[in-house]
Amino acid sequence: MKLIKNLFEPELLKPSRDGFGKALVELGEKSEDFWVLTADVSESTRTHWFAEQFPKMFVQVGVAEQNLAGVAAGIASCGKTVFISAYGVFSPGRNWDQVRVSICYNNVNVNLHASHTGLTVGPDGASHQALEDISITRCLPNMIVMSPCDMEEAKKAAHAAAENILPCYIRTSREKTPVFTTPETPFEIGKANVYRDGKDVAIFAHGVPVYESLKAAEKLKEKGIDAAVIDCHTIKPIDEKTILKYGKQCGLIVTVEEHQVNGGMGSAVAEVVAENNLCPMKIHGVYDKFCESGSAKELLHKYLLDAEGIEKVVEDSMKMKK
């Protein structure tokens, strides 16, 4: 089975949030016990597609993210499957207490979707660039955390969340990015996808940087560095088996994400590496700072999260190998 398309073919560009929105409509068609709520950002989060078709199963709470979480928990306690959707800086950023107590502590079937995450929010600047959302969700008991790499994978993540009884957090982006996986590409919660094998270094990435990492790996090959690229779409539960396999196989791990280096996917991988005394590793992302405004392309380049930057980081990290 071909997992990904040719990286150098003309690309279909779609934001990953589109896949999430399409999945909601598909899920609504299957069950009347499926509800969607948002906080005055239905078009931006693509929940308006669901609202147009299923108005009786849609709730618009307005600019009130704390209420968004609380109302969702109440609906879920009546036996419904619920999705809430907003910008990442506001949900789970603004309503973390309600997510912790009303949703996770009560362990109700509420799934959080955050659009507009990472650097690729671009011109909206630091106030809207959710770069801490993974760290504040993966620490919560009962919470599953996913970060799909493109539109197709986002659709699968939403379906997987709906089928799971635990609370889930799904992170998507606003920027149009290449759709490089296929409808047939496997998706399983807790199981990373290996999109490129290699023996010298294992690059673990999630979200937008997965595609950039694949492009970087092609350039690294020209320099004699054979890089594996792993799509770590589920950050919690992390795929320990794949981390152990590629840590031993390559002797070096580099993690890449448009998130703070503190508490993100890199930290989750590092926990596995440290507990197993596995191999050297480099955690690459945003280094404990608020970022600035600019286009998505400009920001990924500035913070070394495009293919060129990832290539450089991996090259520099090769000296860490034992």
- AA identity, residue 296: A
* Residue pair 92/47 in contact by the 8 Å Cβ criterion: no
Q: Tokens 């992170």 label which residue?
A: 171
Q: How far apart are the first and last CA of the chain?
A: 35
Contacts (Cβ under 8 Å, ≥6 apart) of 66: 94, 95, 97, 98
Q: Where are the alpha helices (DSSP H) in the chain?
A: 16-30, 42-45, 48-53, 65-76, 96-98, 133-138, 151-163, 209-222, 240-250, 265-275, 296-302, 307-317
9, 11, 43, 65: which is the annotated catalytic residue?
65
* Alpha carbon distances (Å) from 66 to 117, 130, 162, 184, 238: 19, 17, 22, 37, 28
Between CA 276 and CA 83 the distance in angstroms is: 36
Burial class (CB in 10 A: 0-12, 13-18, 19+), 308: middle
Between CA 256 and CA 311 the distance in angstroms is: 11
* Alpha carbon distances (Å) from 5 to 67, 179, 185: 42, 9, 10
Between CA 114 and CA 118 the distance in angstroms is: 10
Is 315 an annotated catalytic residue? no
DSSP run (H or E) holding 145? strand 144-146
Residues labelled catalytic:
65
